[in-house]
């Protein structure tokens, strides 16, 4: 009976992580135009404030359960600082200072660092098959990043900030795994709280110094494309995807959940091809195969593998 329940939880964890990766992958379709017209702080502020408001309403209506009484907040607040604060600051600054191929290649190594750090801090020892699968998936992501050619910015600060983003995502995966007394809803809610405070403070300072506070406050009400981007990022990514992602980490572990990162990149590429009519090259086809094979290998558990602990949503 216990083994059956464990297997069911593992399957649900894999499905949740896959759906989260798909939702993250589709985000570029909704944000492509918006990110070119507003600052990162402005977009992130509206993203997290909207997510926080929606989750608060759901909690008040009883649709989701939040219970923080008697719980220790140290680990979960550390998680919320790693992701979204450290990750998004590192990513936004790093991508601005480097080329697309450089940033795509550096961000692609996140699963390798998750594998190393989870082995050290969580004692999650990966199998050889899982290591091979993660490496194959990363190779596929790098192929996609390099499909338009490699160009170098040679900007040390840009590289450093991208590695800050990498470590932010790694820290989030480790801390989310350790904060097992909190449900996925509670973790995601606290991430929205921290993100709202930090990025709204940054946006207010930014717009106050530029004399554009009124524009910042009314932006979603007169810019439809920005509103659509905010709604998808808040509801599709910050609420739905992160609830499923944190649940997936609890069910299948940090290593296996990180192996789905390639699915996000693959979704972005294929949605561009199928919806926007982007070209699809042979190299992208090879990369697609590498990502799918690698993700499958990384999530193939040998017989007799120890089941990881369970978390309720």
pTM of the model: 0.87
In the predicted structure, residue 186 carries a pLDDT above the cut 50: yes
CB count in 10 Å sphere of residue 190: 20
* pLDDT for residue 5: 53
* pLDDT for residue 306: 44
- The domain ranges of the chain are 12-298
Answer with the residue of higher pLDDT: 239 or 153: 239
Token readout for 255 is 């290593």
pLDDT in tens, 189-248: 999 999 999 999 999 999 999 999 999 999 999 998 899 999 999 999 999 999 999 999
The angle at the Cα of 16, spanning 59 to 91, to the nearest 5 degrees, equals 85
Q: What is the DSSP string of 253-290?
A: HHHHHHTTHHHHHHHHHHHHHHHS-----HHHHHHHHH
């Amino acid at each position: 009976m216990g083994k059956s329940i464990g297997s069911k939880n593992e399957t649900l964890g894999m499905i949740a992580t896959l759906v989260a990766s798909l939702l993250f992958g589709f985000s570029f379709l909704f944000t492509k135009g918006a990110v070119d017209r507003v600052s990162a702080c402005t977009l992130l502020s509206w993203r997290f404030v909207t997510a926080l408001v929606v989750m608060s309403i759901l909690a008040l209506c009883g649709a989701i359960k939040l219970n923080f009484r008697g719980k220790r907040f140290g680990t979960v607040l550390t998680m919320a600082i790693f992701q979204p604060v450290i990750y998004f600051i590192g990513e936004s600054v790093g991508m601005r200072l480097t080329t697309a191929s450089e940033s795509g290649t550096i961000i692609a190594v996140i699963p390798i660092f998750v594998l190393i750090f989870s082995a050290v801090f969580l004692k999650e020892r990966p199998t050889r098959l899982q290591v091979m699968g993660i490496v194959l998936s990363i190779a596929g992501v790098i192929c996609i990043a390099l499909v338009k050619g490699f160009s170098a910015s040679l900007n040390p600060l840009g590289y450093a900030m991208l590695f800050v983003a990498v470590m932010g995502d790694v820290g989030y995966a480790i801390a989310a795994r350790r904060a097992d007394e909190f449900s996925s809803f509670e973790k995601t809610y606290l991430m929205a709280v921290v993100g709202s405070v930090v990025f709204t403070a940054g946006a207010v300072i930014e717009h106050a110094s530029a004399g554009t506070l009124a524009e910042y406050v009314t932006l979603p009400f007169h810019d439809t494309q920005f509103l659509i981007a905010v709604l998808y990022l808040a509801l599709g990514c910050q609420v739905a995807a992160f609830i499923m992602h944190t649940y997936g980490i609890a069910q299948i572990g940090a290593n296996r959940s990180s192996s789905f990162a390639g699915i996000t990149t693959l979704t972005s590429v294929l949605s561009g091809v199928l919806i926007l009519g982007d070209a699809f090259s042979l190299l992208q086809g090879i990369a697609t195969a590498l990502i799918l094979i690698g993700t499958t290998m990384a999530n193939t558990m040998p017989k007799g593998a120890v089941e990881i602990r369970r978390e309720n949503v």
